[in-house]
Amino acid sequence: MQQAHVSALEARHAGLEARITEEAQRPLPDMATLARLKKEKLRIKEEIAGLH
């Protein structure tokens, strides 16, 4: 069960990474959106680390 949860978190983490990259490459990136996505990505990373 825990491995499935970790896998789901890792998938969300990868999805956020892709969204961050996409937003950062726009001509006028939305810095508030980037900050929010980065915070969420960090929270997920910390949750994954806590599960290992």
How many domains is the chain partitioned into structurally? 1
Query: Helices 2-24 and 31-51: crossing angle, nearest 10°?
Result: 160
Backbone angles phi, psi at 30, to 5 degrees: -85, 105
This prediction has a pTM of: 0.87
**pLDDT tens digits for 1-37?**
689 999 999 999 999 999 999 999 999 999 999 999 9
Q: What CA–CA distance (Å, rounded) separates 8 from 13?
A: 9
Range of the domain at 20: 2-51
pLDDT of residue 9: 96
